[in-house]
Structure 1
Amino acid sequence: MDATNMNVEKSTKMPKKLAIGLLIGCMSWMGPYTALSGTLLPAKIGVLDEAHKVMWVSTFALIAMVVATIANIIEGALSDRTRTKIGRRKPWIIGGTIASVIMFFFISWAPTVQLLLTFWVIYQIGLNAIVAPMVAIISDSVSKKHRGTASAFYGVGMSVGAYGSAAIAAPFLGNITGGIWTMAGIQVVLATISMLLIKQKSSKDDVLLPLKGKDIFNQFIFPVTNARDFYLAAVGKLLFQVATGMFIGYQLYILTDYMLLSTGKTASILSMMSLLMMVISMAMGALAGPLADKLGTLKIPVMVASVLVGIGGFMPFISNQPWTMLAYAVIAGVGTGMYLSVDQALNIAVLPNPATAAKDLGIINLSATLGQIIGPIVAGIIISSIGYRYMFIAVAVSAILGGIMILFIKKVK
C-alpha cells in the first residue's frame, strides 16, 4: 500500500465535499449519455432512416461496444500513471468532458446515419475518459469504512442523471437538436461544479516506475492474479446491465411499437417513468449505502437489487398496457437505487491491486458500458425474430443471473 492509500485509510472523517462532487460529477456524464442513448439518438435515427431504425440502433450499439472496450481500459490505465498538480484523475475527466460536449454538436448536426455513427463512436472515446478515472477517485480518496456511503453518493448521481435526464429529454422528441444542445449545456455546468468540489493532491511527486517489456503489457491487460471475485463482480454487473440496456435501449419503441401509443402519450409516459425512477432510486440509494456500511454487507443488497430489476422488466410481458411500464419504473427504481448505491463499493472491495485501481475499475465498470451496448443488440435480435414480449423474459433472466453471480463472491460479505 502506498503512502497516499495509507493516509486515506487513517482518515476518520467522511469527505463530504468530495462525495457531493462525485454525485454531481456522475450526473454530468450519466445524464447526457442516457438522454442520448435512450431517447434522443434513437429518435434521430428514426428521423434519418425510419425503415431500418431497429437495425441501426443495434449497429450503433455493437460498434460503440468495441470502441468503449478499448478506450476504457487504455484511458483508465493511463490515468493511473498520470502525474500532474491536480492529481491523476481530473485531467482525464476535464478532457473527456470537453471532447464529449464537442461531439454533441456534431451529433445534432449529422445529416446521415453514417455520419451520426462516426460522431457517436468518437463520443464514446471522450465518455470513457471520464468514467474510469472518476470512479477511481473513491479508491484513491475514501477509506474502506466510508466507501459504502461514498458509493451511495455516486449511485444517487447515477440515478438522478439517468432518470432525470430522460424526463428532460422526452419533451424534446419534437426538437431533437434542441434536446442534444440542452444536454451539452447541462454537462458543462455540472462537470465544472464537480471539478471545483473534488480536490485531489498533486501526483507530480508520486513514484512512477518505468515500463519496460513485459511491464507495458501487464499495465494494460486484464488482471490474472487474485482476481476470482473481481471477475464474478464483473460478470454480475454485465448481466445486470444487459438487462437494463435491453429495456432502456428500446423503451421508446416499446411505447410506440409494442403499446402503440401516440407521440404525445409516449412523451408523457416517459416523463412519468423517469420521475418515478429518479425519486424512488434516489431514496433507496440514500438509504442502502449507509445501511450497507452499518451492517457490513455488500453482496446481499446487490443481489436483491438485481432480482427486483428482473421482476420489473418482466411486467410488460403481462400486458401491453402503459401501466406495466409504470410498474417497471417503481419496482426497478427500488432495485436500481439499491444497486447503484452499493455496487461501486463492492467493485472496489474486490480489486486485485490498488496500484492499478483506475485500470481495473475501468475493466469492471466496462461491464456496465458493455451491458448497455450488448443489451440493445440482444433486444434487437429478439424483437426482430420473435417479438417484444420475449425480450421481457430475457430482461428478467439476465438480471436474476447477475444477482446469482454476486452470491459466489467470497472476499466480501
Structure 2
Amino acid sequence: MTDAPAADIRPAAPRRLLVALIVTELMITFALATPLVATLGLKVQEIAPDRKEQVLATVMAVGSIAALLLNPVFGHLSDRTTGRFGRRRPWIAGGLVVGLPAGAVMATAHSTTQLVLGWLLAQAAYNAALAALSAVIADRVPPAQQATMSGLFGAAGFAGVVPGLVLVGTIPGNTTALFLIPAAIGALGAVLAWLLLREPAVPGGAGRAAKAVNLRSVLGSLLFDPRTSPAFTVVWCQRFLLQFANALIGAYGLYFLMARLDMSVSEAAALVSATGLVSLAGNVLAAAVFGRVASRTGAYRALVVGSGTLMTAAMVIKMFSASVWPVYLATAVAAVGLGAFYAVDLALVLRVMPDGGDSARYLGVFNIAKALPQTLAPVLAPVLLALGSDPVGASAEKNYFALFLGGAVAALLATALTPLIRHPRLVRD
C-alpha cells in the first residue's frame, strides 16, 4: 500500500506572485501566438506568394517540432540550474528577452530560410520561458491555491491571443510592426518577471553534482516511464486525446463551412471569425470559473469527466450540423469543455507527477501532449475525410461526418480514462 504523502504546509502564495504569473503568461502567449494566428502567413505571402501554402506548412511544422522537443529540455535545464538568481527566473526573463531579436529576424526576413531560423529562435526563447514559468506554480504555489491558479493561468493563455488579433486587425499591412510589437511587449515582460518572480538562491556543489546536465540527461528529459508514474501517464493521455480531438477539426473549419453549409469563402471566413470569438470567450470564462470551482471542491476528476463529455457532445453536434446555429452551439459547448479541462489539468498533473525536484522537466513532457496532436492531427484528418462520402450536407466530396466522429471517439476515450487516475494526493473525489 502506498503511504500518503506528507501534508504540504507551505504558506499561501502572495498576491504579487499570482498576478506576476498571470501577466507573464499573458505576455508570452501574446508574443508567441500572434505569429501563429496571422503574422507568419502574412510574411510568407510577401516572400513566397506562389508557394505560400507549402512554405507556411514547412515553417509551421518546423516550429511545432521545435516546441515539442525544446519545452521539456529547457524544463530539465531549469531544474538543474543553480545560482543566486534561482532556478526559474533566469530562464523566464532570458527567454522573453531573446524573443525580441527573434522577432527582428522574422520581421526582416527576405527568404524562407531566414523566416524558419527566426521562428526556431522564437520557439526556443518562448518555450524556455514557458517551461520555467509553469514550474513556478509547482515550486511556490501551495496545493490549496493550485487549482485556482491553474484556471487563471489557463484563462491567461487563451486571452493572450486577443491582443494579437486586435493588432492584426489594426495594422494588417505592416508585417514588420506585427512581428516587433509583440516581441517588444514580451521583452517588457522580462522586466516584470525579473522584479516580481524573485526566488531564493540555489546553491551548487556536491548536493547537485549528482544531477549534472549531460547529453544523456537532456535526451532522457524527453521521456518518462509509464510503469513508475501511471497516474501521470493517464493525465498525459487525456490531454493528448482532448487536444487531438480539438486539433483534428480546427484546421478544417473554413472548408467544413464551405462544404456543409454551401458558403462562399468570404461568408465562411466571417463565420469562422465570429465562432472564434465565441470560442475564445468560452475558453477564458470556463477556465477562470472552473479553476475556482476545482480549488473549492477538489473534484478534479469529476471536472475532467464533465469537460470530456462536453467535448464529445460538441463533436456529435458538428457531425450533424447543416446550418449556422448548430455550428455556434457546438463551438460554445466545445469552448466550455476545453476551457474547463485546461482549468484543472495543470493542478491535476501537479498532484500526480513524480517527485524529485524535476517539476519543470515533467511539465515540459506534459506539454508534449498539447503540442504533438497539432502535428499528428493534420496527417490523420485527410485520411478520415477520404472515407467515403459525407452523409450530411450539400457536398459529398469530403467526409466531415467521419472527421468529427474521429474527434468524438478521441474525446470519449479521454473521458473513459478518468477512473484510472489514482494517486494518494487525490483524496477528495
Asked if Structure 1 and Structure 2 have the same fold, meaning a TM-score greater than 0.5 normalized by the shorter chain, the answer is: yes
Matched length: 407
Which structure is larger by alpha-carbon Rg, 1 or 2?
Answer: 2
**Which deviates more, 203-212 or 237-246?**
203-212
> Which whole-Å CA distance do the structure 1 matches of 2:301 and 2:139 have between them?
22
State the AA in 2 paired with 1:399: A
**Aligned mate of 1:272, from 265, 271, 274:** 274
The Cα shift of 1:188 comes to 3.0
- Tell me the distance in 2 between the aligned counterparts of 1:111 and 1:394: 40
TM-score by length of 1: 0.83
TM-superposed deviation, 1:324? 5.3
Higher mean C-alpha deviation, range 207-216 or range 291-300 = 207-216
Greater displacement, 363-372 / 214-223? 214-223
Q: Which piece of structure 1 moves more, 208-217 or 128-137?
A: 208-217
Tell me if structure 1 keeps the 8 A contact 2:99–2:187.
no
* Alpha-carbon displacement from aligned partner over 1:153-176 (angstroms, at most 9, x marks no partner): 211211211455445445555544
Query: 2:242 & 2:264 partners in 1: Cα distance?
Result: 28
Q: Determine helix, strand or coil for the equivalent of 2:160.
A: helix
Deviates more, 1:402-411 or 1:8-17: 8-17
Residues 277-286 or 345-354, more deviating: 277-286
**In terms of mean alpha carbon deviation, does 324-333 or 223-232 score higher?**
324-333
Greater RCO between the two (CA within 8 Å, min separation 6)? Answer: 1
Aligned-partner residue type, residue 394 of structure 1: G
Shifted more, 397-406 versus 123-132: the winner is 397-406
Q: Which amino acid aligns with 1:88?
A: R
Alpha-carbon distance in 1 for matches of 2:34, 2:244: 18
Structure 1: distance between partners of 2:417 and 2:51: 36
In the alignment, is the contact (CA less than 8 A) between 2:321 and 2:327 conserved in 1?
no
Question: Which structure 2 residue ranges, 5 or more long, are not aligned?
Answer: 388-396
Structure 1 partner of 2:394: none
Shift of 1:408: 2.0
Counterpart amino acid of 1:335?
A: G
**Displacement, 1:77?**
0.8
Task: Work out the percentage of aligned pairs sharing the same amino acid.
Answer: 22
Aligned ranges 1:164-183 → 2 under 5 Å? 165-170=164-169, 173-183=172-182
1:197 matches 2:199: no
Letter of the 2:408 counterpart? A
The DSSP-based 3-state class of the residue aligned with 1:347 is helix
- Say whether 1:121 aligns with 2:124: no
**Counterparts in 2 of 1:358 and 1:44: CA distance versus 1, 3 Å:** same
**Residue ranges of structure 1 left out of the alignment (5+ in a row):** none
CA contact (8 A) 1:80 1:356 kept: yes
Q: What TM-score do you get using the length of structure 2 for normalisation?
A: 0.80
Residue equivalent to 1:339: 341
Task: Work out the CA distance in 2 between the residues paired with 1:379 and 1:117.
Answer: 25
1:32 Cα offset (Å):
3.1
Give the 5 Å matches for 1:69-148. Answer: 69-148=68-147
Tell me the alpha carbon deviations over residues 77-117 of structure 1, each in whole angstroms, 9 at most, x when there is no partner.
11001123232111111121122232223223333444433
Q: Name the CA shift for 1:292/1:205 in 2 (closer, same or farther; >3 Å).
A: same
Could you say which residue in structure 2 is the equivalent of 1:398? 410
Deviations 1:366-386 (A, max 9, x none): 211223333344446656897
Aligned to 2:8, the other structure's residue is in SS state helix
Matched residue SS, 2:357: helix
Structure with greater proportional helix content:
1
Shift of 1:17: 1.9
Question: Separation in 2 of the partners of 1:104 and 1:257?
Answer: 37
> SS at 1:9's partner residue?
coil
- Say whether the 8 Å CA contact 1:309–1:335 is kept in structure 2: yes
Cα separation, partners in 2 of 1:88 and 1:65, compared to 1, 3 Å: same
